[in-house]
Structure 1
Amino acid sequence: MTTFRLAHLSDLHLTPPARPFQWADVTSKRLLSRIAWRRKRHRHLEPVLNAITASIRERAPDHVAITGDLINFATPEEFEAARQWLTGLGPPSDITVSPGNHDALVRRDAPDAFAPWAPWLSDANEEAFPHLRRRGPVAIINLSSARPTALHLAQGSLGSAQIERVEAMLRSTGEQGFFRIVLAHHPVASGVVSNRKALTDMASLQAVLARAGAELVLHGHAHEAVLNRVAGPLGAIPVLGVPSASTPAGLAGEQAARWNEIAVSRDTKGFRVQVATHGVTRDLSVIKMGEYALI
């Protein structure tokens, strides 16, 4: 029985590189976000992310899924720094990135369609989401809920065109017998985040999942380890989220960095899924925190 192993991490919030003063930033959402970053930057530390990624390299999964918020202010400098970071993590064919709200904080100066990260978004270098990547028994369906929003909002949306295409992808890959994993930054299950942070067209995506089905949905955004389920045509679909991959252990009110190792195997009875959770400790060790059967 062959096993396909997927690493899932999210919300890296890479330390932003220096950026020359821009008057345009003063009149955009970037100013408020930079003020918030100064107050909260102790929540996202590079040594913590380095420990998490070292743990992933040691485990050598078949693929890595990153569900958004690699950066903070969507500046050209950040996109380039994140591109270099992704290059150091591994080949683009082995890593899939689903962009987050911070990756699309504002439109001004930000690259169109997350262009610097194109090799990590899809196999065909297409601009329009969703993207489909087939890896062994797994079909990775990569959505983008990342949209610029007004001040004090961190909502996401997919749009009717993307939702329509996702239904076609789910149906075709399901008919072909793939284990379908949907990636999105914003939670797909209700009640995980407040309305100001929610996926605005969640109900439409849930309706598609109920009709077309999927085997697993992965997300970030909440900075929490959460397991929910949404309706599918043959039963409930697991929806799994992880904390930020750069948050140190010991912060009050914050879950320490974790990544999930998701093992997908198949036997005569169908697919089996085992999840192992790996979390960072105060001394920057990464330990196995638990393991459970998901399907």
Structure 2
Amino acid sequence: MSIFRLAHLSDLHLPPPQGAFGWRDLLSKRLLSRIAWRRKRREHRPEVLAALVADLKAHAPDHIAITGDLTNYASPAEYEAARVWLEALGPAWNITVSPGNHDALVEAKGGQPFAAWTPWLGDDGAIAFPQVRMRDGVALFNLCSAAPTAPHLATGRLGKAQLDRLDALLGDPAYRDAFRVLLIHHPPVPGAVVKRKALEDQDALRALLVRHGADLILHGHAHEAMVATAPGPNGATIPVLGVPSASAMGKRGHPAARWHGVEIDRRADGGVEVKVVARGLDPESGEPSELGRYILTQAGRPAARRS
């Protein structure tokens, strides 16, 4: 069987365009984000992101997963700027976006904050989660943990409706033989981030995974390269991978910009081998290069499945 190459990047923090912040935002949480951006803009650089994306494109992945925080204030001008950026990245069929907390910083007027990103959310033209995108035997379950929160909080939440739908989708026989990848901004792992930044209903999500299983979970939010596991059925474990910010200079205590190439090699005997290639800015040259590679799932070992 062929190898499916999935590129993962996250936490882009695109520079806010002209008009992203207005006088009405002085009384909202956007004011705090604007103050924070004055500091963060020295760390999150568009030229760094451009170099990383050029390196990613040179490796021609089959699909690109972006796990959130394309924006900073979640303003209409930023949504539109991110849409233009996504169009330049490639066809929407080949790119999936899972929104982050910065993409839902405040309640959106009209209740459709991600309308501009609809083609990158799923295949059915809806602004709803989760959505499933089938690509060459790989099922991408796109979740949304982005939810408006009080000042100084960056927590995430899936909510009962999304969890109920995910329960049904993970149990759907249509995806039983697919390699199932969950995309989410907040890490579903206890202790991965501090409480004020954590996924509020991660216990409910993990309970679903124990029942139904999955093969891989990709997340962002922590701005760190993280390797963890979540419990699956019958004592199995599900790999959970986080990637640093794709625009980070690496000068403020966080790793420099990085993307992960995930190579999914499904074998005829039912086993699977998953390789991860980490690429990012070399600390000496500042140019993108390979930082390391490892085998995440050994060949011949079946992925986590429902009993």
TM-score, reference length from structure 1:
0.96
Shift of 1:294: 0.5
Note the C-alpha offset of 1:114: 0.4
Amino acid at match of 2:294: Y
The code of the aligned residue for 1:224 comes to E
Identity within the alignment, %: 53
Name the CA distance, whole Å, in 2 between partners of 1:150 and 1:194: 16
The structural deviation recorded for 1:62 is 0.2
Contact (CA 8 Å) 2:256, 2:280: kept in 1 or not?
Answer: yes
Q: Write the distance in 1 (CA, Å) between the matches of 2:40 and 2:113.
A: 28
Residue 117 of structure 1 is matched in structure 2 by: 117
Structure 2: tracts of 5 or more residues without a match: 298-307
Equivalent residue, structure 1, for 2:211 = 211
Q: Does 1:156 align with 2:140?
A: no
Who is 1:287 aligned against? 289
Residue in 1 that maps onto 2:232: 232
In the TM superposition, residue 110 of structure 1 has moved relative to its aligned partner by 7.8
Cα distance, 1:106–1:155 mapped onto 2, change above 3 Å? same
- Would the aligned equivalents of 1:139 and 1:173 in 2 still touch at CA under 8 Å? no
Match of 1:26 in 2: 26
1:60-79 map, 5 Å: 60-79=60-79
Going from structure 1 to structure 2, the CA distance change for 1:113 and 1:132 (only over 3 Å counts) comes to: farther
Partner of 1:157: helix, strand, or coil? coil
In structure 2, the CA distance between the partners of 1:28 and 1:61, relative to structure 1 (3 Å rule), is same
Deviating runs (4+, > 4 A) in structure 1?
Answer: 108-111
Structure-to-structure mapping, 1:1-295, within 5 angstroms: 1-19=1-19, 22-109=22-109, 112-172=112-172, 176-234=176-234, 235-249=236-250, 251-267=251-267, 268-282=269-283, 283-295=285-297
Aligned 8 A contact 1:51 1:284 in 2 = no
Gaps of 5+ in 1: none
- SS of 1:272's equivalent? strand
Q: Residues 43 and 252 of structure 2 are in contact (CA less than 8 Å); yes or no, is this contact kept in structure 1?
A: no
Offset at residue 23 of structure 1 (A): 2.7
Q: Deviations over 1:90-132 (max 9, x none)?
A: 0000000000000001124587140000000000011221000
Q: Is the 8 A contact 1:213 1:232 kept in 2?
A: yes
Paired residue type of 1:208: L
User: Is the 1:76–1:109 contact (alpha carbons within 8 Å) kept by the matching residues of 2?
Assistant: no
Between 1:83-92 and 1:120-129, the stretch displaced more is 120-129
How far off its partner does 1:272 sit? 1.1
The 1:292/1:111 distance shift into structure 2, 3 A limit, reads: same
Q: CA deviation at 1:36?
A: 0.7
Q: CA deviation at 1:248?
A: 1.2
Alignment size in residue pairs: 294
Looking at structure 1, the residues matched to 187 and 196 of structure 2 have their Cα atoms a distance apart, in angstroms, of 13
Q: Are residues 85 and 110 of structure 1, via their aligned partners in 2, closer, same or farther at CA, if it must alter by over 3 Å? A: farther
Q: TM-score, normalised by structure 2?
A: 0.93
2:278–2:292: 8 Å Cα contact kept in structure 1?
yes
Counterparts in 2 of 1:68 and 1:60: CA distance versus 1, 3 Å: same
Cα distance between partner residues in 1 of 2:260 and 2:72: 23
Residue 31 to residue 167, structure 1, CA distance change in 2 (3 Å): same
SS of match in other structure, 1:254: coil
Aligned 8 A contact 1:174 1:180 in 2: no
| Equivalent residue letter for 1:4 | F
Match of 1:78, SS? helix
Contact 1:243 1:258 in 2 (8 A): yes
For residues 111 and 60 of structure 1, the distance between their equivalents in structure 2, rounded to whole angstroms, comes to 36
Kept in 1: contact 2:92–2:120 (CA 8 A):
yes
CA contact (8 A) 2:262 2:275 kept: yes
In the aligned structure 2, how far is the partner of 1:21 from the partner of 1:6?
A: 35
Partner of 1:292, secondary structure, is strand
